Homo-oligomer: A and B are copies of this chain.
């Protein structure tokens, strides 16, 4: 009696190693792409056997999809979530941008943004991976759109601003930041990105009273 009730030991021992595997998977995918996620190399990285790792996912595809999910979760956790502490409007948009351009470093992903990598890899082909990537991307895109709309509603951005233009502009600047980091270094790339973002916002700012 005395029913164990909850238990289930929040870390079921298997869940724990699964989480470790996925962390390693995202790290590798950020640098080498999701197509590089092979059972063998990942097993070696996680310090376990191929079959042992394999049992956690059932197939390579499931592993890749799980890695995409994990990457999106980390993005949400490191970019959007902390920005919620900032007040709605431009302040929050600023926070999102700043977290965005810095999140690969914060997540210890020296290979760059894994979602960006996934998009590049699968956007132009069919299959379940493309579906998974697009779904996650649309979700995050919607969240960004809401944040922009708030800045319009608050009167900080001009009322006739097209929210899509701002989202497109932010997306563009962040992409260019990630891409130029490898050429000119993190610091100069982020500096240029911030300057471009400032210009973008100033361009659409509501006229001051």
The chain A residues found within 8 Å of chain B, CB to CB, are: 30-33, 35-36, 110-112, 116-117, 119-121, 123-125, 134, 137-138, 141, 164-165, 168-169, 171-173, 175-176, 179-180, 182-183, 192-193, 195-196, 199, 203
Contact = CB atoms under 8 A, between A and B. Distances in A.
Give the most central of A137, A138, A182: most B CB within 10 Å. A182
Contact of A33 (B35, B110, B175, B203): B35
Given A32-B125, A173-B172, A196-B169, A183 B120 contact: no
A71 to B, nearest CB: 15
A165 B141 CA distance: 26
Nearest to A122: B182
A176 B175 contact: yes
Contact of A119 (B124, B179, B192): B179
B112 A124 contact: yes
Given A165-B195, A176-B175, A31 B110 contact: no
B124 A110 contact: yes
Contacts of A36: 35
Nearest to A172: B176
B117 A120 contact: yes
Nearest to A195: B165
A183 B35 contact: no
28 contacts: A31-B124, A31-B125, A33-B35, A35-B35, A35-B36, A112-B123, A117-B120, A119-B179, A120-B120, A123-B182, A123-B183, A134-B182, A138-B183, A164-B192, A165-B195, A165-B196, A168-B176, A168-B180, A168-B192, A169-B196, A171-B179, A171-B180, A172-B172, A172-B175, A172-B176, A172-B196, A175-B176, A175-B179
